[in-house]
Amino acid sequence: MDQLFSFPNPVNENAARVVAGVVLLTVLAILATEAYWLLIPLAYGFWARVLTGPTLSPLGWAAQNVIAPRFGEKRPVPGPPKRFAQGMGAAMATLALITWLVAGSDTATDTMLALFVVAAGLESIFGYCLGCKVFGLLMRAGVVPAHVCAECADIAPRLRAAEPRGSL
């Protein structure tokens, strides 16, 4: 049961980028067609991924098990920053849904969706995770304790792995 409601660590970077790409396409479709009802599955997907990883997210499951394997070997990255990023997406999607359903404000909703275009575009196209960067800043500021992501707190192994062979 614990496995059902756990977030993977590490996360396959390829799967994360696939999810971001589908989020980007969904948001662009909403903006182009004003099909704001698509905010419902968008928000559900983010909440499902935050709470259970890919388990209860059809998009997360397909990205991890069907689509990402076609991009070659897994590219493991720490899970906690990706989960934090999914949480940011859940908050943004929920706020967009509320501004559309409750406030009836297309302008406020479109503003939230424009933020998604930036964040999901950077993640899916360039592999640059804004939520992960915010997570890192919060760790450095001491807001997120080091034990939450030991790999994030100790970057020395990654720096050593990135050094050119034969260097001192």
pLDDT given at position 110: 95
Question: Alpha-carbon distance 7 to 80, whole Å?
Answer: 8
pLDDT for residue 21 is more than 60:
yes
pLDDT on residue 147: 87
Segment 129-167, tens digit of pLDDT: 999 999 999 999 999 998 888 888 765 555 455 565 554
pTM of the model: 0.87
pLDDT for residue 29 is more than 50:
yes
- Measured N-to-C along each axis, helices 79-101 and 130-140 cross at an angle, to the nearest 10 degrees, of 120
Which strand (E) or helix (H) includes residue 11?
strand 11-12
Is the pLDDT assigned to residue 44 strictly greater than 60? yes
Is the four-CA dihedral 33, 36, 37, 42 of positive or negative sign?
Answer: positive
Map out the domains of the chain as residue ranges: 11-138
Alpha carbon separation from 92 to 37, 117, 120, 152 (Å, rounded): 15, 12, 12, 24
Distance CA 126, CA 119 (A): 10
Give pLDDT, residue 74: 92
Give 110-135 pLDDT, tens digit per residue: 999 999 999 999 999 999 999 999 99
Worst-scoring range by mean pLDDT, 37-41, 77-81, 159-163? 159-163
Binning pLDDT at 50, 70 and 90, where does residue 95 land?
very high
75 within 8 A of 39, measured Cβ to Cβ: no
Please state, rounded to an integer, the average pLDDT across all residues of the chain. 89
Question: What are the φ and ψ backbone dihedral angles of 86, each rounded to 5 degrees?
Answer: -65, -35
More confident residue, 163 or 56: 56
CA distances (Å), 37 to each of 71, 86, 141, in order? 31, 20, 38
* Pairwise CA distance, residues 58 & 131, whole Å: 22
